[in-house]
Structure 1
Amino acid sequence: MGHAVGDVLGLAAGVAVSPLPIVAIILILATPRGRLNGPLFVLGWVLGLAALGAIMLAVGGTGGASTHKHPATWVGALKLALGALLALFGARRWRRRPQDTSQAQLPKWMAAIDRFTPVKILGLGLLLSAANLKNAPLTIAAGASISSAGLPVPQQIGTLAIFVVIASLGVLAPLVVYLSMGERAKGILGDWRERAARHSAAVMAVLLFVLGLKLLGDGISILAA
């Protein structure tokens, strides 16, 4: 199980560093219903990652590894495809990043986030985790890695749970600060929001490219073995 956890730690960290979801939860916490909607957003995020990871475990099943506990060929092919996709998106994102970070703009839907119902907030958390351009491929790759480790089902579930917890640290941190620091949290979260908004494009581009190269390397290693 330790080897499987080691394989997914980098992927989980890549999911955790998600500037847009971090900005989203900070904006949610600043609304009058922040104490209710903040935890709902995090719940949606966790459910999205857990559901997508569980689907991959179900797809991989006991066939994710060969009789020698080496990842199956389809796992290598999947990682190769996901790696190429992320690397291409990263390069494209880098070319399109704003040269002046002060001109970086947030999505228009964020302006209406204070009017979102609790159900929409929950759905937003699900969407930004399980349907995100970066997070979905990384979670799929993590699920494939876990299923290919030759672990019994309880250990697969435990490894996925560790992945989800680490991958959720980015959105959990603002919530913990908000709930524990009261009024002092406003200044801290405001600073985090500004930094995340300004550098979102560059951070995402570098993460996509680097993690894409990692998955490409993993896929090549599996297919060449």
Structure 2
Amino acid sequence: MILDLLLIGLAITLNPLPLMAFVLLVASARGAWKGLTFILGWLACLVAVIAIVLAITGGHPPPPKSPPSTAVLALKLAIGVSLVGYGEYRRRRRTDRSARGTSPADGAAPAGSAGTAPASPAARPGRRSSSWLSARLDRTTVWTAAGLAVLLQPWGLVAAGATAVVEADTSHFTTWIALFSFCLLATASLLAAELYVVFAPTAARARLLAMRSWLEGHQDQAIVVLCLVVGLWFTGKSIYQLTG
């Protein structure tokens, strides 16, 4: 369970999509307060999922080879296969875009198209969408930021974490440490960005926005790697335990 939770927590914190939105949020007006409520909403989701699972299991894992244990393994297998499938889908989509000479971030026309002049950076759709989103986030309230955290949760990875929590035995203190570490690790990148904005707001906004631009061009690669690593781990482990 512990290795599963650490792997999933790392995958969640490295997921570029929530982090990209969070960077724009903390770079907006009253960004530090919005970032704080976003993190609280984010943590509330993780804690709620853990609490629901522990309430269902009573804090004790189901016996090996029992129907509930087999059902959980089947669910793990389904989640693993789904993550692998989604990762492969993102990889194929990125390959198709590369073959057409289209950037994932800006949707530009293929290089070398007849009669097509290269678009200026300011005219790219990706830049326009970022500016539009930044303007919207400037008007976002702190409570809306908490709701945004719920929407941006990588729920496929959170579901994988929930199946790992089924194995938690709350009679052991190490289990509570593992659950706390999972929540902390899954929030680590957001906490780091929030603390940076609080203690060095001017430098933080510039550097975080630069990091977001880099993430925008590499988000597909990151998502593919994360989904495949977690998906293959869950698929292989579930098959081994089901057939062992």
Q: C-alpha separation between the residues in 2 aligned to 1:173 and 1:62? A: 31
Looking at secondary structure, tell me which structure has more helix per residue. 1
Alignment partner of 1:165 out of 157, 172, 184: 184
Alignment partner of 1:14 out of 7, 11, 14: 11
Aligned residues: 216
Distance 1:39 1:217, change over 3 A: same
Structure-1 residue corresponding to 2:146: 122
Q: C-alpha separation between the residues in 1 aligned to 2:65 and 2:228? A: 32
**1:204 to 2:223 alignment:** yes
SS of structure 2 residue aligned to 1:66: coil
2:105–2:216 contact (8 Å) kept in structure 1 = no
Structure-1 residue corresponding to 2:106: 103
Cα distance, 1:154 vs. partner? 6.2
Q: C-alpha separation between the residues in 2 aligned to 1:150 and 1:32? A: 44
Q: C-alpha separation between the residues in 1 aligned to 2:206 and 2:59? A: 49
SS of structure 1 residue aligned to 2:200: helix
Distance 1:213 1:115, change over 3 A: same
Cα distance, 1:51 vs. partner? 1.2
Cα distance, 1:23 vs. partner? 1.1
Cα distance, 1:20 vs. partner? 1.3
Q: C-alpha separation between the residues in 2 aligned to 1:48 and 1:20? A: 17
SS of structure 1 residue aligned to 2:28: coil
Q: After alignment, is 178-187 or 85-94 more displaced?
A: 178-187
Distance 1:141 1:152, change over 3 A: farther
Q: TM-score, length-normalised on structure 1?
A: 0.84
2:81–2:232 contact (8 Å) kept in structure 1 = yes
Q: Deviations over 1:92-126 (max 9, x none)?
A: 11112243355264877734222212221110012
Q: TM-score, length-normalised on structure 2?
A: 0.78
2:91–2:221 contact (8 Å) kept in structure 1 = yes
Distance 1:48 1:196, change over 3 A: same
Between structure 1 and structure 2, the one with the greater Rg is 2
Alignment partner of 1:94 out of 91, 95, 98: 91
SS of structure 2 residue aligned to 1:116: coil
Cα distance, 1:80 vs. partner? 0.2
SS of structure 2 residue aligned to 1:11: helix
Structure 2: give runs of 5+ residues left out of the alignment. Answer: 108-125
RMSD: 2.6
Q: C-alpha separation between the residues in 2 aligned to 1:83 and 1:68? A: 20
